[in-house]
Homo-oligomer: A and B are copies of this chain.
Amino acid sequence: MHRPDELRRLVEARLGKLAFSPDLGALEEALRYSLLAGGKRIRPVLCLAAGEALGRRPDELVDAACALELVHTFSLVHDDLPALDDDDLRRGRPSAHVRFGEDVAILAGDALLTEAFRLALAYPAPDVARVLADATLGMIGGQYLDVTTNGGLDADGLAELHALKTGRLIRASVLAATAVAGLGEAEREPWAALGAELGLLFQIVDDLLDATATTEELGKTAGKDEASGKVTYVSLHGLERARALADETRARVEDRLAALPVDTTVLAELAGSIRDRRA
């Protein structure tokens, strides 16, 4: 089994070599700008780690993994637009619309999403692409909730928003691995539950970091949630309680991992790094 850092290098190598449709012409530059700006690659690494735990080689999984990162990058490019979150900084560099203009950023996001499907459709069965479509719709629904209910959420509403906006794609990272591994519907269930808990853990930590880390550490504007009056785990529960919630969620992740009939060493390491990340 590969360690997370090795898996991340595999993902970076494959992302760097992705052949986009020649029909995109020079728009390709904008796709690569946003896609190859670093980033933690949590979703694709999670996909590869889940796949290896299920006995599949990384090269069998890496296209599904990259498709997840393409969808994630599409969402960042569109969410950063002035009409949405209006963020000029992403992964430590000017956002796509600052660098290329709004028109090109909108088209680049559209193209990243479509390339994600093209990549997922390289598999013989449509299963991976179906996982991707379902998760993407959830993510879009979450971003819609975010822009329309800004500031007016209670704890349940916040949980729903995050389960959609962040959770669904992280859950899909695990589900895509089960799809490639050919697991049946019932066998996927504990993996889906694990993915959902990992998504929640990621988001609570995200809220903690937005409140406590610097813009330089994050590579994106820090303190944005509070400045824009967004409801977060920190604004709703306070810093200490939010930290406790993160630890409780991590404990549930550990329980889920322990219940899986596979070697989950690497997945456990990943869960730890999601809890302890600094950016």
The answer to whether B27 and A144 have CB atoms under 8 Å apart is yes
The answer to whether A26 and B106 have CB atoms under 8 Å apart is no
The answer to whether A111 and B83 have CB atoms under 8 Å apart is no
The answer to whether A117 and B118 have CB atoms under 8 Å apart is no
The answer to whether A83 and B101 have CB atoms under 8 Å apart is yes
Q: A144's contact among B24, B114, B126, B142, by CB below 8 Å, is which?
A: B24
Residue interface mask A108-142, B partner, CB < 8 A = 1 = 01110111011001011110011001101110111
Q: In the complex, how many angstroms separate the beta carbon of A214 from the nearest chain B beta carbon? A: 28
Using CB atoms, name the residue of chain B closest to A132.
Answer: B117
A187 at interface by CB-CB < 8 Å: no
A102 at interface by CB-CB < 8 Å: yes
A81 to B101, CA, bound (A): 13
A228 at interface by CB-CB < 8 Å: no
A144 to B221, CA, bound (A): 29
Q: In chain A between 72 and 118, which residues have their CB closer than 8 angstroms to a CB of chain B?
A: 74, 78, 81, 83-84, 101-104, 106-107, 109-111, 113-115, 117-118
A220 at interface by CB-CB < 8 Å: no
Q: In the complex, how many angstroms separate the beta carbon of A81 from the nearest chain B beta carbon? A: 7
The answer to whether B123 and A140 have CB atoms under 8 Å apart is no
Note all chain B residues with C-beta closer than 8 A to A114: 113, 133, 136-137, 140
The answer to whether A110 and B78 have CB atoms under 8 Å apart is yes
The answer to whether B25 and A144 have CB atoms under 8 Å apart is yes
A27 to B147, CA, bound (A): 11
A145 at interface by CB-CB < 8 Å: yes
Q: In the complex, how many angstroms separate the beta carbon of A175 from the nearest chain B beta carbon? A: 14
Given A81-B106, A129-B129, 8 other A-B residues pairs in contact with their CB atoms under 8 A = A21-B141, A23-B164, A83-B101, A106-B106, A110-B136, A115-B133, A118-B133, A126-B129
Interface residues of A, Cβ cutoff 8 Å to B? 20-21, 23-27, 74, 78, 81, 83-84, 101-104, 106-107, 109-111, 113-115, 117-118, 121, 123-126, 129-130, 133-134, 136-138, 140-145, 147-148, 164, 168
27 contacts between A and B (CB under 8 A): A20-B137, A21-B138, A23-B134, A23-B137, A23-B141, A25-B144, A26-B144, A26-B148, A27-B144, A78-B106, A78-B107, A83-B103, A84-B103, A84-B106, A104-B144, A104-B147, A110-B110, A110-B140, A111-B140, A114-B140, A115-B133, A118-B134, A118-B137, A121-B126, A123-B126, A126-B126, A129-B129
